[in-house]
Amino acid sequence: MDAFEELLNANRRAVERFVKFRLTTLSDADDVLQEVYLTAYQKFHQLKNTDSFKPWIISIARNKCNDYFRHIAGQMELPLEDLTEKELSYGRHGITETDTVRETLSLLADKDKQILYLYFWKELPQAEIARLLHIPIGTVKSRLYTAKQNFKNRYPFVTDTVRGELIMKHLPERLPEYKIEATGKTPFSVKWEELMGWFLVPRLGEKLSWGMYDIPSRQCNHVYDMQVTGKAMVHGIEGVELTAREADYSGKKEVINRTFVAQLTDTHCRYLATLRTDGDVRNYITFLDGDAFMQCWGFGEDNCGNETNLSPKGDIIRNGNVVTSAKKDFLLDIVGRYTVTIGGKSYDTVCVLDIETYNCGVVSEQFLDKNGRTILWRRFNRDDWAIDRYKHKWSEQLPDNDRLIVNGVTYVQWYDCITDYIL
Tens of pLDDT, residues 245-277 = 888 877 666 677 889 999 999 899 999 998 876
| Domains observed in the chain | 3-75 (1.10.1740.10), 80-154 (1.10.10.10), 178-422 (2.40.360)
Ranked by mean pLDDT, the top range of 79-93, 221-235, 281-295 is 221-235
User: Residue 352, exposed/middle/buried by CB under 10 A (0-12, 13-18, 19+)?
Assistant: buried
> What percent of the chain shows pLDDT beyond 90?
42
pLDDT-derived band of residue 72, with 50, 70 and 90 as boundaries? low
Q: How far apart are CA 275 and CA 162, in angstroms?
A: 19
In tens, the pLDDT along 122-146 reads: 667 888 888 888 888 888 888 888 8
Q: Which pLDDT score, from 0 to 100, does residue 279 have?
A: 61
- Which alpha helices (H) appear in 176-311, and where do they start and end? 291-297
pLDDT-derived band of residue 63, with 50, 70 and 90 as boundaries? confident
Reported in sequence order, the residue ranges of 85-236 that DSSP labels E, i.e. its strands, are 89-91, 94-96, 178-182, 190-191, 207-214, 220-234
pLDDT-derived band of residue 82, with 50, 70 and 90 as boundaries? very low
Q: How far apart are CA 232 and CA 273, in angstroms?
A: 10
- Farthest-apart Cα atoms in the chain, separation: 79
Q: Which pLDDT score, from 0 to 100, does residue 89 have?
A: 35
Write down the mean pLDDT value for the chain: 82
Q: Which pLDDT score, from 0 to 100, does residue 277 have?
A: 67
Cβ neighbours, 10 Å, residue 75: 6
Q: Which of 89-93, 301-305, 380-384 has the lowest mean pLDDT?
A: 89-93
Q: Which pLDDT score, from 0 to 100, does residue 162 have?
A: 35
Q: Which pLDDT score, from 0 to 100, does residue 278 have?
A: 60
Q: How far apart are CA 30 and CA 326, in angstroms?
A: 30
Per the CB < 8 A criterion, the answer to whether 111 and 147 are in contact is yes
Q: What is the mean pLDDT of residues 44-64?
A: 86
In the predicted structure, residue 319 carries a pLDDT above the cut 50? yes
Contacts of 111 (CB under 8 A, 6+ apart): 143, 147
